[in-house]
Amino acid sequence: MVKHVLRGSDFLSLSGLSGNELEDFVYESCRLKKEGTKGFRPLSNRSIGLLFEKPSTRTRVSFEVAILSLGGHPLVLQAEELQMRRGETIEDTAKVLSRYLDGLVVRTFGQKRLESIAASSDIPVINALSDECHPCQALADMLTILEYKGEFRQLELSYLGDGNNVTHSLMRAGTKLGMNVHIATPCGHEPMDSIVSECEEYCEISGGSLKLTDEPFEAAENADILYTDVWVSMGSSEDADEARSKFLPFQVNEKMLEVASDDVIVMHCLPAHRGEEITDDVIDGSHSVVWDQAENRLHAQIALLAMIYG
Ligand code: CP
């Protein structure tokens, strides 16, 4: 059971969960969302730090609300306001924080840096986005897909845009759950090879598939889910104008919807750059589920915290 796997553990990526455990998690988060958390206080008398080295709207606020709703006390720790700004190492910071806190939600740069924070602290550490992956986003994405599609297996999940941290977690989740995942990126923006290989192994177990292409219309054809994200990921130094022209054919717009399934849902992890990776008419249109998807960050994280501390 996924509860036993997550209890008292770090949550640094989706790699540690089997397909069945991930599916179990999504159904449990769906149940908690419907039934609510009234009277359920696994974080009572517990303080959880939110250590952010990058900006955030959804992740930070939804974690704060999730912690409060489970009876806990959230402490927002912006890195620039800590002694880290004056050179204290992240490992020393994590060691000290783990003497005061019961958990640490961390948004940082490299996955190695995140792993180092986790190794330096003896409290659960949760990945709130690293340069490599965004597993909490994928949990909310899978909850949203379940709500709209009622199942996972053999769904056509197509991602168009930059092969970034969100893509990596989406690929892991989709292939673990038996979906046919199509990733369309411009040349030079493909997902990491090691994560592609990992996902191919998941497909062998789940019966799903993974295809990479640089042809956006090929990926979008018959898609049940069309997913996109900003073209230049946070932390990337690529020139914005150059990226824009390279990525324009990957824009999710009305033309792209025409080749997808009639009941396609459009997803975006947000924040969106309207008029770039997605047009106004699509993000505000009848196929878009992005606001439910954003809300589900809260519900998925309530379920995650409930399982880690339950
Ligand atoms: N999707 C996401 O992680 O949003 P924030 O950067 O606002 O947290």
Residues with CB under 6 A from ligand 1: 56-59, 129, 137, 269-271
Residue nearest to atom 7 of ligand 1 (CA): 57
Q: What DSSP assignment string belongs to 162-228?
A: ---HHHHHHHHHHHHTT-EEEEE--TT-PPPHHHHHHHHHHHHHHS-EEEEES-HHHHHTT-SEEEE
pTM assigned to the model: 0.97
Euclidean distance between CA atoms 33 and 26, whole angstroms? 10
In this prediction, residue 121 carries a pLDDT of 95
Structural domains of the chain in order of their starting residue, each with its CATH number: 2-133+297-309 (3.40.50.1370), 138-293 (3.40.50.1370)
Report which ligand 1 atom has the smallest distance to the Cα of 234. 6
Q: Which amino acid is at 298?
A: L
Does residue 244 surpass a pLDDT of 90?
A: no
What is the distance in A from the centroid of ligand 1 to the CA of 135?
Answer: 12
pLDDT tens digits along 191-224: 999 999 999 999 999 999 999 999 999 999 999 9
Share of the chain above pLDDT 90, in %: 93
In this prediction, residue 233 carries a pLDDT of 58
pLDDT tens digits along 278-309: 999 999 999 999 999 999 999 999 999 999 99
Residues 6+ apart with CB under 8 A from 286: none
| Segments of 53-123 assigned E as strands | 73-78, 103-107
269 has catalytic annotation: yes
Burial class (CB in 10 A: 0-12, 13-18, 19+), 43: buried
Burial class (CB in 10 A: 0-12, 13-18, 19+), 41: middle
107 has catalytic annotation: yes
What is the distance in A from the centroid of ligand 1 to the CA of 30?
Answer: 21
Provide the mean pLDDT of the chain: 96
Confidence of residue 155 (pLDDT cuts 50, 70, 90): very high
244, 186 contact by CB (below 8 A): no
